[in-house]
Chains A and B, each alone.
Chain A
Amino acid sequence: MRFGKIAVIHLSAMLAVVGRHRHRGGPFGIIVLVIVVAVLAVLLVQRRRERSGIAESAPGAALAHVKLAMSDTNTGDFDTAGGRLAWAPMPMPPGRYGLSGLLRSEWTKLRSVRSTGWTLAITVVLGIGVSVIVTAETRAHWSTTDHQGFDPISTSLIGVFIGQFAVGVLGVLVMSSEYGTGTIRSTLAAAPRRPLVLSAKVLVFGAVALVVGEVVAFVAFFVGQALLSAPAVHASLSTPGAWRAVVGSGLYIAVLGLFSLGLATVIRHTAGAISAFVGILLVLPLVVAALPSSLQSDVRRFLPDRIGSELINGNGFGFPGAFSPWIGFLIMCGYTAALLVAGGVLMVRRDA
């Protein structure tokens, strides 16, 4: 069963996260555990829904009054003279279907399913909540811990690393749910220029992910800094690196969302694309950690999670050999663009 595989990957990924952040103390591990369980639960619900959509579902209580409605209007012969669809063809508008219609359509699609609201809510709640908990925890233990190299900016933005998973899942679903449910055939029959369809998805979902990402970043930052009362060190937007870190965190979330949308365009299956996404973010760093140390920093600096760490870090250059934040971000954009272009090419070449 495919879902089992995702679960295993998630569990191993979870252990990795817990392991990596152990130095931050006990509560963090528990938080991560809760979050991963939450993400798994969302996936499970989504999977059920996709299944129930394909399998014949039992008609519920709603069916009774539907039957009534149907017998009112539909048992009689189709009446052309009555003119409910007596044919005077609708006038064709000038021009051709295009991006503006597709953008509207994608916006309707995005807000007409519940998983969008859920995943975005999880992004916001976890992104801000985890930041707040970690910051508050840091402040509470301020007198007993060592503060060398303490960065109030990245501490308040740490929730971005949790929020990214929910956005990534949504990015996958935006594309893979169309394939999973067969909606893609309606979509592509309505708009056969496939790169245009993909562009509309990228623009609409990218904009939504960016707004949500920036909201998470700014709120987490301001709440976090407010919590870091004296004697703890706190930052403001005018602190060097702060503006870049906060704006960059939102951008990172948005680009990562599009990265996962690109993965789903190539892979076309929800489970496969989410596994790939989680694998790249969490498992790949473990694999790289197993490389000889001389190679490690050369390879690690190309990984999305490392690029993200640099972006949210107020001091910049947190790890030896890492790319500077904006260079890293451009590399991340490059990965995403490459995936989306590959996905677009495959979309055109493959049968829907």
Chain B
Amino acid sequence: MIECQGLTKRYGEKIAVDQLSFVVRPGVVTGFLGPNGSGKSTTMRMIVGLDAPSAGDVKVNGRRYHDLAWPLREIGALLEAKAIHPGRSARSHLRMLCETNAIPLRRIDEVLDLVGLTAIANQRAGKFSLGMGQRLGIAAALLGDPAVLLLDEPVNGLDPDGIRWARNLMRGLAREGRTVFVSSHLMSEMALTADEVVIIGKGRLIAQLPVADLLAQSSQRYVRVRSPQIEQLKDVLEEHGASVAQEDDGALSVRAMDEVAIGDLAASSSITLHELSPQSASLEEAFMELTEDSIEYRGATASGTATPQSSTLAAESL
């Protein structure tokens, strides 16, 4: 459990994080979304006590970070890839962390095995690729077997296999009942990994809501249709509740009805279709739309308007 209350960070005149309040619950993966520079990393550094908040506070498992008896056994953090001395081996890096929190040294081999770095455990970390650095960072976060995990852009630099692995790992950790808080600037990745998202822009909370609701809220999804019987088609679609607009090239953009229903309707009305294409590359746009105008959407929550499209949408985005 992570609780932020009015968390604020100022650097001189500039406000990096502005009165951020949210709760990250155990048992689910919570995505932390925001454009680059929106204050995600600063927030995460404040959670683990590296940066001092200018105002407000943050608690991990109900306590201030500085009051934790064994910090690594309560919360594991991956803050940046390759934050390792390049001359030190993965094993030594993990060992020195174990020793600070009286973690049994056998955990080193366990986490190395878990992230797949056993074979290169004794090599100097300077030779590691970014992806291997990420894996070592994840291993370090898991070292104390903590109930809370804080991962800043963990899939950065991972290959597709690695991304899938990391996604399954995070979901598995949440299923075990842990709190998993993962930042990303990629909406599509979060749509697949997270159950819930906290969205910030310019350091302010824009929304905290289940991913399914966010996807449903996206107004950008539509189906592009072309037909020689365009007027007839338009009437039929509108009759059945779709919202239809004509585009410059004569095609129709249809909202609030998916391509299956449109195709069925056209067939039953004996209308010829020349194109029927769902336009789905809209997640990032929806996200940007949200974050661009932080005031308007500030504090907005889910309104439960889930549509069947959302799952299709998520699957298409990768």
- Interface residues of A, Cβ cutoff 8 Å to B: 49-50, 52-54, 56-57, 59-60, 62-63, 65-66, 68-75, 77-80, 84-87, 89-90, 92-93, 95-97, 101-102, 104-106, 108-109, 112-115, 177-178, 181-183, 185-193, 351-352
Q: Is the CB of A57 within 8 A of B71?
A: no
Q: Is the CB of B71 within 8 A of A190?
A: yes
Which one of B65, B80, B116 has the highest number of Cβ atoms from chain A below 10 Å of its Cβ? B116
Contacts of A105 in B (CB 8 A): 96-97, 99-100
Contacts of B140 in A (CB 8 A): 186
- Interface residues of B, Cβ cutoff 8 Å to A: 45, 48-52, 65-66, 68-73, 77, 79-80, 82-89, 92-93, 95-97, 99-104, 107, 110, 113-120, 123, 125-130, 132, 140, 142, 144-145, 147, 157, 161-162, 164-165, 168-169, 171-173, 175-178
* CA distance in complex: A56, B126 (Å): 9
Q: Is the CB of A69 within 8 A of B116?
A: yes
When C-beta atoms are compared, the residue in chain B nearest to A108 turns out to be B96
Q: A85-B142, A183-B84 are in contact. Are A78 and B171 (CB under 8 A)?
A: yes
Q: Is the CB of A63 within 8 A of B126?
A: no
Q: Is the CB of B126 within 8 A of A53?
A: yes
Shortest beta-carbon distance, A341 to chain B, in Å? 20
When C-beta atoms are compared, the residue in chain A nearest to B89 turns out to be A112
* CA distance in complex: A186, B84 (Å): 9
Q: Is the CB of A182 within 8 A of B82?
A: yes
Q: A57-B126, A109-B88 are in contact. Are A181 and B83 (CB under 8 A)?
A: yes
Q: Is the CB of B99 within 8 A of A108?
A: yes
Q: A56-B130, A89-B145 are in contact. Are A191 and B100 (CB under 8 A)?
A: yes
When C-beta atoms are compared, the residue in chain A nearest to B49 turns out to be A192
Q: Is the CB of A62 within 8 A of B85?
A: no
Q: Is the CB of A190 within 8 A of B101?
A: yes
Q: A69-B118, A108-B96 are in contact. Are A57 and B89 (CB under 8 A)?
A: no
Q: Is the CB of B85 within 8 A of A181?
A: yes
Q: A49-B86, A62-B123, A181-B85 are in contact. Are A84 and B110 (CB under 8 A)?
A: yes
A-B contact list, 24 entries, CB within 8 Å:
A49-B86, A57-B86, A57-B129, A70-B116, A74-B116, A80-B176, A85-B172, A87-B177, A97-B70, A108-B92, A109-B92, A112-B87, A112-B89, A112-B96, A113-B85, A185-B80, A186-B93, A186-B97, A189-B49, A189-B50, A189-B71, A191-B71, A191-B101, A351-B45
Contacts of B45 in A (CB 8 A): 185, 351-352
Contacts of B116 in A (CB 8 A): 66, 69-70, 72-74
Shortest beta-carbon distance, A137 to chain B, in Å? 37
When C-beta atoms are compared, the residue in chain B nearest to A85 turns out to be B114
Q: Is the CB of A57 within 8 A of B128?
A: yes
When C-beta atoms are compared, the residue in chain A nearest to B131 turns out to be A59
Contacts of A114 in B (CB 8 A): 87
Contacts of A66 in B (CB 8 A): 116-117, 119-120, 132
Contact of A96 among B70, B82, B142 (CB under 8 A): B70
Q: Is the CB of A78 within 8 A of B70?
A: no
Shortest beta-carbon distance, B39 to chain A, in Å? 14
Contacts of B126 in A (CB 8 A): 49, 52-53, 57
Contacts of B178 in A (CB 8 A): 87
Q: Is the CB of B83 within 8 A of A185?
A: yes
Contact of A188 among B49, B101, B130, B165 (CB under 8 A): B49
Contacts of A192 in B (CB 8 A): 49, 65-66, 68, 71
Q: Is the CB of B95 within 8 A of A108?
A: yes
* CA distance in complex: A60, B8 (Å): 43
Q: Is the CB of B50 within 8 A of A89?
A: no
Contacts of A187 in B (CB 8 A): 100
Which one of B87, B140, B144 has the highest number of Cβ atoms from chain A below 10 Å of its Cβ? B87
Contacts of B52 in A (CB 8 A): 351
* CA distance in complex: A85, B110 (Å): 8
Shortest beta-carbon distance, B130 to chain A, in Å? 5
Contact of A190 among B97, B115, B175 (CB under 8 A): B97
When C-beta atoms are compared, the residue in chain B nearest to A70 turns out to be B116
Contacts of A86 in B (CB 8 A): 176
